[in-house]
Structure 1
Amino acid sequence: MTSISARIPDEDEEELRKVAELLDEDRSSTIRKALREGLEELRVRLAIEQYQSGNVSVNEAARIAGVSIAEWLEIARERNLTTQLQPEDIESDADSALEI
């Protein structure tokens, strides 16, 4: 496992302590969990931005988000995203689905 070092504001350290206590975990475990969940959310947010701007298809958005197409469609439904599909996107996404 790689070790990294980061400086955080005092108020974040206090929040980290509180959350670690609530989770009944040590600080390192809480930091790893927060980082993992934060990175997942960042990927989804980037995929949403790219999808909403029309820069990527459903298949590409799912790849950016690090989820399956079915999971992406669920995310899109939950967040009321408007569809940016073009006919060629549907064909490409259908081909990807057949590969699954």
Structure 2
Amino acid sequence: MSSISARIPDEDEAALEEVSELLGEDKSTVIRKALREGLSDLRVRLAVQQYQSGEISANQAARVAGVSVADWLEIAREHNLTTQLSPDDLAADAETAREL
């Protein structure tokens, strides 16, 4: 496992202490969990933005978000996203789904 160091504002340190106590876990574990969840959230947010703008297809959005296509479709529904796909995009996504 890699090791990194980072400086955080005092208010984040206080929040980290509080969450650590609430979870009954050490700060390192809480930081790892927060980083994992935060990175996942950032990936989903980026996929939503790119999909919504029509930059990427549903299949590509699933890859950016780090989820399955089925999970992506659920995320898209939760965010009230409408398809930005052309018929060619749909055909390509269907072909990719058949390969899975």
1:74 aligns with 2:74: yes
Between the aligned partners of 1:32 and 1:82, the Cα distance in structure 2 is 34
Output aligned runs, 1:27-46, within 5 Å. 27-46=27-46
The answer for the alignment partner of 2:21 in structure 1 is 21
Output aligned runs, 1:81-96, within 5 Å. 81-96=81-96
1:62 aligns with 2:56: no
Q: 15-24 or 25-34: which moved more?
A: 15-24
Identity score, percent: 69
- Give the structure-1-normalised TM-score: 0.97
Between the aligned partners of 2:84 and 2:46, the Cα distance in structure 1 is 15
The answer for the alignment partner of 1:11 in structure 2 is 11
Q: Secondary structure at the match of 2:46?
A: helix
Return 5+ residue gaps in structure 1 as ranges. none
Return 5+ residue gaps in structure 2 as ranges. none
Task: List, as ranges, runs of 4+ consecutive aligned residues in structure 1 with deviation greater than 3 Å.
Answer: none
- Give the structure-2-normalised TM-score: 0.97
Note the C-alpha offset of 1:53: 0.7
Note the C-alpha offset of 1:96: 1.1
Between the aligned partners of 1:17 and 1:9, the Cα distance in structure 2 is 13
Instruction: Give CA deviations for 1:54-95 in whole Å, capped at 9, x if unaligned.
Output: 000001000000001000000000111121011011111111
Q: What is the number of residues matched between the two proteins? A: 100
Between the aligned partners of 1:21 and 1:79, the Cα distance in structure 2 is 33
Between the aligned partners of 1:80 and 1:53, the Cα distance in structure 2 is 13
Note the C-alpha offset of 1:26: 0.3
